[in-house]
Amino acid sequence: MSSVKALQKQLLAWFDHSRRVMPWRAVKGKTPNPYHVWLSEIMLQQTTVAAVGPYFIKFVHKWPTVQKLAAADLDDVLAAWAGLGYYARARNLHKCAGSVAHDFGGQFPAAVGDLIKLPGIGPYTAAAVSSIAFNRPAVAVDGNVERVVSRFFAIEEPLPQAKETLRAHAAKLAEDNPRPSDFTQAFMELGATVCTPKKPKCVSCPWQKSCAARKSGIAEELPRKSKPKQKPVRYGKVFWIQKKSKEFLIEKRAGKGLYEGLYQLPTTDWTENMKEPEGNHDARLRFKRFGADVRHSFTHFDLILEIWTAEAQKGFRPRKGKFVSAGDLENYALPSLMHKVVKMCLERKTA
């Protein structure tokens, strides 16, 4: 196997000619903007580069600095985030912008130890921002890096148990490298574009001569993964209340937790008991069961909601929420589950 120094040199040389242009990435030789690096890293969690591009552009256009984002109304931030999912991230993004603006004078801290204390920043994001934005030697291990490392060393231990082993091996490869910012980006880029989950393009890989999995012909089988636990299922009802004008009722979700502060169609609680909850949203309305349920998968559970519909007669005043048209929805942060129901009901899709 080549020495670590040689491997670093090969990866950086590959990155110098293969680096993709991204709206948040500084062009070669320019200093990265920490606000852009942080914003993109938060947006990229559990989302693809292609999906994030338009959101990133929209955010930096609306809020060109972290101070501007900190001063924005949370509802506007959530509305701009709508479609990216995992809304806790957007709420933490806003909180984090507030901390940076007020506690750090609008300048992101450079050290991992300071970054990790900010809302919504975990070990991965702290390392990514510290190394990419500030050229500090921190090792950011995302799914792409885990895949490259597990293959390069042919590590058979399955994920998630192998996480620490993979981290330690990634750190060995990154140790004392001369360009931490580029190295971190190169490592991730290699996983994203060459060492891909299916059909890795080993012939284009700068590490092909030293890669253990390629030599043994098991690259595509790695990383191994433990069988996922079956997720619990939760049940509930969602209510579509429509006026003759086609406007329908939405409301702001109260309380803490999932979807906190977002808009939704009225729903019951979601419980693990299929027969509950009983009852309908408003006794003044006559609800009918829609011909299909809506299903949605969250990280920790699957959800099945019965859809119930009712016509709101002239003069009907909801106790909570407001009637909006489909065209108004872009002004409200509605999670994708709710968009699914809106689409089904507007198109009257019953299967």
Q: Smallest gap, in angstroms, from Cβ of residue 206 to ligand SF4?
A: 8
Active site positions, annotated: 41
Q: Smallest gap, in angstroms, from Cβ of residue 18 to ligand SF4?
A: 12
Q: Smallest gap, in angstroms, from Cβ of residue 214 to ligand SF4?
A: 4
Instruction: State the Cα–Cα distance between residues 133 and 33, nearest whole angstrom.
Output: 6
Q: Smallest gap, in angstroms, from Cβ of residue 209 to ligand SF4?
A: 8
The smaller minimum CB distance to ligand SF4, of residues 155 and 205, is found at 205
The smaller minimum CB distance to ligand SF4, of residues 87 and 152, is found at 152
**Contacts with ligand SF4, residue ranges (CB under 6 A):** 148, 151-152, 194-195, 200, 202, 205, 207-208, 211, 213-214, 219
Q: Smallest gap, in angstroms, from Cβ of residue 197 to ligand SF4?
A: 10
Instruction: State the Cα–Cα distance between residues 301 and 40, nearest whole angstrom.
Output: 27
State the Cα torsion 182-183-185-190 to the nearest 10°.
Answer: 130
Instruction: State the Cα–Cα distance between residues 54 and 62, nearest whole angstrom.
Output: 12
The smaller minimum CB distance to ligand SF4, of residues 200 and 266, is found at 200
The smaller minimum CB distance to ligand SF4, of residues 90 and 148, is found at 148
The smaller minimum CB distance to ligand SF4, of residues 194 and 334, is found at 194
